[in-house]
Amino acid sequence: MRDRYSLFLITMGLTLLGVTMVFSSSGVYADREFSDSLYFLKRELIWALIGFLSLSFAYRISLFKLQSWALVIFALSMLLIGLTYTDLGIKVGGAQRWLRFGPFNFQPSEFMKYALVILLAGYFGGQPDYAKGFWKGFIFSLFLIVISVLPILFQPDFGTAVMIAGGGFLMLFVAGVKVRYLGALILSVLPMLYFAIVCFPYRVNRIAAFLDPWKDPTGNGFQMVQSFLAIGRGGLSGVGLGESTQKLFYLPEAHTDFIFSILAEELGYIGSVLTIGAFIIFTVIAFGIALRTKHRFGHLLAAGCTFMICIQAILNIAVVTGTVPPKGIPLPFISFGGSNLMMNLIAVGLIMNVSKSLEQGILVEEGDKTLVTEKRWEKKAHPLRQSLSKYATL
Amino acid sequence: MSLKKRNFMSFRTFLVMMGIIVLWGGLIYRLLFLQIQSAPVLVKKAEKQQEAVLKVYPQRGKILDRNGNIFAVSMKVKSAFCVPSEVDELWRTAGKLARILDMPKSRLIHKLTRKSHFSWIKRKLTDEETSRIENEGMRGIYLVDEVKRFYPKASLLSHVVGFVNIDNEGLAGLEKSLDHFLRGKTGSATIIHDAKGRELYAKRDFIEKPEDGLDVYLTVDEVIQHIVEEELDKVYETYQAKGAVAIVVDVTNGDILAMANCPTFDLNLPGEFSADKRRNRALVDCYEPGSLFKIVIGAAALNENLISMNDLIDCEKGAYRIGGHTLHDSHPYDVLPFVSVIAKSSNIGCAKVASMMSRETFYHYIRQFGFGQTIGLPLEGELRGKVRNYQRWSGYSQTAMAMGQEIMVTPLQMVFAFATIANKGKKPVGRLIDRIVGPQNQLIRKNEIREGKSIVSPRTAMKLTQALKLVVSKSGTAYEARVEGYSVAGKTGTAQKVENGTYSHSKFLASFIGFVPADHPVLAIGVMVDEPKGKVYYGGQVAAPGFSVMAERILSYLKIPPEENADENLKQLEKRYAA
């Protein structure tokens, strides 16, 4: 009951910490680059505002409506990703990941993360029996994951693609796809992953730099080394908020993907553990909501959103601490990045929505079929849900 | 069935949750390793990367005249450099800089694209350039503080003051010879810098504080220097000479009040002038002095009582054979008293006086007057001149030296010889530096006035002065050196220069050195003009007028009262010796 409010407060707290850290880590850079030290702070605040508005929208939206619109949302996000390949897309550092959106840039792959979660939750939620089947359950859902990931992979945005695929994979696991299918999948993906790395020299370099960043501290290992130096400089209690020196052009992407290094430098071990602690509390509350929800769609939706946020956070911190090879993944709520913040806040809104709906008695499970208590759900949503199911059965 | 399914799904979710929590725990452990265990090593590495030892430059000391007027001063200025990797819009940046700095665009492009983290654009900018660069705010272009040497008086006293290179190291003149006083001590400080090498904090952690250089006060008087340079330049221009030197010495204490050279140069742009123009001829050049040297013979003969003022000397009607040479006087004289031999500058007369002395005595006096040794001013490259030891003299040497040949002297030495006569036979000790003062105006070192050595007796000096006064009479060689209202004593010199081993008949050193007021001398002024062009080349015609104007202006500046009966006295003197 109160857990969704706790979740909201934790999210607020993390976002505020994020805004603070964005200002701290980007101020000097922004002053230099745009002659406005508040450049990133302003944008982050506007996105946070948009994000919290979106959160309240996601909190209020009818879950049944959401389930029935799942395919549309998915199609829309596919379209948006497709647009990045056209003239509307912006090329940054050789990758087309962004769409121009008025004064803001928007990353459609962020949208896709949760579109896939909603789609899979809707699919498995509507037809509980599918999950166990090979074709309808495993192969079809795998197909959905692959078609959502492929365009992102070719942007190229390997990190996000891996993360989305990982989140989708966990959803299949939770939805009830047989473990032997999933095991076989892992075994077959590994060689593909190997070639995906070996065929791109920059990825090989990244892996090499990951294994021993000190070997080439000014070249490939540069960012990792600088991240280590920042984290190490923090020590137990940190150098103090705003006092980071590593953010002064030593550490690249200090306000985006590597913001946690600056956080660790300024706030120390105490600060970084408290931040991770906040994420753990977030994890526990969000999973608690999912676990309490017996309604399949609600459960899968809450769990899926939680996976996505947790995987991002863990991967990000693992990257900056040199625990896994570097990938460009932002830290949810904290890194600068408008569309990422907005989508993560929407995800929190959806998790809270599930909690609310559960409390209001809208989501109840009885037997094999979902008991529908809301009439509109049956009337309006049904045809689309039906079509989705039909599509799956083909 | 439903229960089983529900548990099944929840169980898997629970598993994932536990897995995620375990991963979080792993990250906390990983951070423990980085932030606590490895922290000391990482901190040290970060420091090594971020700290730099920076040289902090001191302010170079000033060079001032005796009254505190500044000849050389240091100013904080900005220099522009670029970090080539940061420069964007290369062509626009280069274009803007080219306009601001008035430099060719191609050179700027070269500087802006150098493969290094640092490249000077232009050092020591003007204020206007600095503000324009600041206003433009171009990426990758930075300004840094530097100390620039500035010479507000440009060419005034340039040969003495000297100049520094771009790193403020003295290259010439006092800037070089007093470098260890002026330089100060470069300090060092640890700074924290960002990845682009820019200093982060205004507060510096000094390892060693810089010490500003000391200020040097000269004995030179800026006004006198100005007068002398102005008048010397007129002479130099009029006669299209190769060079000209003027020196003003306070005969009572040896203070150098002015030292001027032509041609001259602008200290702020030393590189644009040839080394010839930057040479301080007063002490790095030496010449055969010609008739100027006759005062040495006169002083020696008088001091040794070999001759008295009225003794008559046969001047052989202008031609005299001695030692295989024939001496000539410019005007033939029959018999002259000794005093007129000096006043009319008779070569034959002087040769005869010189022959009265032993070699040892003559040599003794030459050395006593300071020839063959430096005056000892703190300036680089002062020559000793050339004085051969008497044991190596030929039979003719003494005769030649009586006319100021076979001996090389610097203008400075010659002026000090006159100052010796003026100072009643005591040779003043030359002084160019008055005092050295610290940054807080505290006296570090005072260059005390030293009592000079007695070379000839005051009586000798007085007698010789009478002769030298007659030089400036109507019958003397330098009537044009007279100064209205003051008595002047002096001597002309018109030395033939040696060209291809023989004495030239077209290249002369025209000089006049004198002191005023003759009976109570204050100033010794020497004017030497090297190779005046044209038909007029006698010292009495070329140098003496310059002396006259300089002396007049300086005396009036120093507020030395005119003598009431200077003209009367001179006329009486003339009458006395004409008889």
Q: Of B79, B291, B511, B548, which one is the catalytic site residue?
A: B291
Token pair for residue B509? 């050193």
Please give the structure tokens belonging to residue A300.
Answer: 């899968």
- Both tokens of B43, joined, read 């901190």
Closest Cα to residue B283, out of B162, B191, B187, B199? B162
- Full 3-state SS string of A228-278: HHHHHHHCCCCCCCCCCCCCCCCCCCCCCCCHHHHHHHHHHHHHHHHHHHH
Q: Is B291 a catalytic residue?
A: yes
A367–B194 C-beta distance less than 8 A = no
Q: How far apart are CA B153 and CA B229, in angstroms?
A: 12
SS3 state at A213 = helix
Give, rounded to a whole angstrom, the gap between the first and last alpha carbons of chain B.
Answer: 157
Closest by Cβ to B14, choosing from A128, A230, A291? A291
Comparing C-alpha atoms, which of B15, B18, B43, B30 is closest to residue A316? B30
Record the tokens describing residue A382, joined without a space. Answer: 């049904």
Q: Which of A233, A284, A299 is opposite residue B9, by nearest beta carbon?
A: A299
The reported pLDDT for the residue numbered A376 is 41
**pLDDT for the residue B553:** 95
Distance CA A61, CA B538 (A): 115
Q: How many helices (H) and strands (E) does chain B have?
A: 20, 21
Q: Which domains does chain B have, with CATH numbers?
A: 54-103+110-194+212-218 (3.90.1310.10), 222-267+283-578 (3.40.710.10)
Q: What is the pLDDT of residue A91?
A: 76
Q: Note which residues in 156-185 of chain A have CB less than 8 A from chain B.
A: 170, 173-176
Closest CA to B381 of B252, B469, B463, B282: B282
**DSSP labels for B248-261?**
EEETTTTEEEEEEE
Of residues B65, B108, B77, the one with CA closest to residue B90? B108
- The partner residues of B249 in beta bridges, in order of sequence, read B256, B524
How far is it, in rounded angstroms, from Cα A212 to Cα A100?
A: 38
Look at residues B473, B497, B502 and name the one whose alpha carbon lies nearest to residue B487. Answer: B473
Tokens of B123: 């050092």
Alpha-carbon distance B514 to B512, whole Å? Answer: 7
> What are B475's two structure tokens?
């019958």
pLDDT < 50: residue spans in chain B: 1-5
Q: Contact B17/A272, CB-based, under 8 Å?
A: no
B110 min Cα distance to partner chain A (Å):
24
- Mark yes or no for CB contact A245/B192 under 8 Å: yes
Distances (CA, A) of A130 to A43, A73, A115, A142, B6: 44, 21, 20, 13, 15
Calculate how close chain B gets to A69, using CA atoms only, in Å. 24
pTM tops 0.90 = no
CB A309 within 8 A of CB A335: no
Whether residue B233 contacts residue B158, with contact meaning beta carbons closer than 8 Å, is answered with no
- Give me the pLDDT at residue A394, please: 41
Domain ranges in chain A?
Answer: 3-393
Q: Is the dihedral of CA B164, B168, B169, B170 positive or negative?
A: positive
C-beta of residue B578 within 8 angstroms of C-beta of residue B550:
no
Tell me the residues of chain B between 8 and 67 that have a Cβ less than 8 Å away from chain A.
8-10, 12-14, 16-17, 20-21, 23-24, 26-28, 30-32, 34-36, 38-39, 41-43, 45-46, 49-50
Complex-level ipTM beyond the 0.85 threshold: yes
Give per-10-residue mean pLDDT for chain A (394 aa).
88 96 91 85 93 94 88 93 83 75 79 94 80 84 92 86 92 90 90 83 80 80 89 92 86 90 95 96 94 88 95 95 88 92 95 90 57 43 52 48
Whether the Cβ atoms of residue A314 and residue B27 lie closer than 8 Å to each other = yes
Quote the pLDDT of residue B323: 78
The secondary structure of B78-99 as a DSSP string is: EEEEE-GGG--SHHHHHHHHHH
Q: Are strands A95-101 and B489-499 parallel, antiparallel or unpaired?
A: unpaired
For residue A85, the model assigns a pLDDT of 85
Task: Report pLDDT for A385.
Answer: 56
What's B137-149 look like in SS3? CCCCEEEEEEEEE
Q: How far is B212 from chain A (nearest CA, A)?
A: 32
